[in-house]
Amino acid sequence: MPAFFDDSTSGRHPLPHAFAGSAVERWSEAREGLDLAAALADPRATIHLFSDDNALVRENGAALGTGFRPDEARGLGLQADSLILLGIVADGPRLAGQIAAASTLPTGIKSIDLRTLAINGGVEAADLAALAHARSYLHWHAANRFCGRCGGPMQAKGGGASRTCPACSVEIFPRVDPVVIMLAIDGERCLLGRQPRFVPGMYSALAGFLEPGETIEEAVRREVKEESGITIGRVAYHSSQPWPFPHSLMIGCHAEALTTEVERDAEELEDCRWFDREEVRLMLAGTHPEDLKTPFPMAIAHHLIKAFAEG
């Protein structure tokens, strides 16, 4: 069996992924008594603002500010009924809200999508994580304005930790969609696939949604089999990453290949093949002779591939 799976360190990841590592205390055991109005009235309150799915950031040299005081937020067009309470940090409450998509932004304020912020930097890791937290919650609230049981309008509860229906008393909670993302390994080579939507030359680990009634291991084996025809044996957990597009959790694994003949799902992948370790190192370094590359370091796929390349 591949030595990679006998290495007890293969499941460790020393640094948090992009969108992870938030400093916000969510008060998960005490949301019932939270008062959104009181949090908003706190002079230390900070609001993370979004226009559609883009975050509003303040330019400050090379750094980007991600929080706005309530008066600033109102001046930018804050929609009061969109406000939710994320929690608290050492310097006060953190909230999130939307502004109208057509709002004209003043000089020094920009609307930037989270992928770009994660790739280009300029935002502290903890603030990027708070933005991811905010985006997922705002998206969920906007998509669940009406009750799925009786059709009545729903109301936010606990500062936005859930929504309730006054008509039939149903209560719903923010969803998280688990996704398995896995790197199949056969000795000194790994399996990478390419989707048509990828930038030219990019190859990545395979991925797919975990289905009801599945374990992580079962989902890894099923997805790899469906997309590449490869049969998987052992599955080793590596790390996870919150993925706010809109509210997924990426569960990263390495997977032991028991077969090697690729039978690509042509509807999902335009290419899928084995890469030896040295070729993967060239891709990571950006020196591959065919200009092949791996995903950016902001993606968990990059770290799954890097862990294999480093042995």
What are the tens digits of pLDDT across the range 79-135? 999 999 999 898 899 999 999 887 799 999 999 999 999 999 999 999 999 999 999
Residues 234, 237: Cα–Cα separation, whole Å? 10
What are the tens digits of pLDDT across the range 141-199? 999 999 999 999 999 998 898 999 999 999 999 999 999 999 999 999 999 999 999 99
- The pTM of the full predicted model, rounded to 2 decimals, is 0.92
DSSP, res 211:
P
* Cα distances (angstroms) measured from residue 275 to each of 50, 79, 180, 193, 208: 40, 50, 21, 10, 21
Q: Is the pLDDT of residue 239 over 90?
A: yes
Residue 273 near residue 204 (C-beta atoms within 8 A): no
Alpha-helical (H) ranges within 76-185 are: 114-120, 125-143
pLDDT at 1: 46
DSSP, res 290:
T
Question: Tokens 């600033």 map to which residue?
Answer: 72
pLDDT band at 303 (very low <50, low <70, confident <90, very high): very high
Pairing mode, strands 206-209 and 248-257: unpaired
Q: Which domains does the chain have, with CATH numbers?
A: 34-143 (3.90.79), 145-174 (no CATH), 176-309 (3.90.79.10)
What is the pLDDT averaged over residues 275-299?
A: 98
Residues 228, 282: Cα–Cα separation, whole Å? 23
pLDDT at 14: 54
200: phi then psi, degrees, rounded to nearest 5: -55, 130
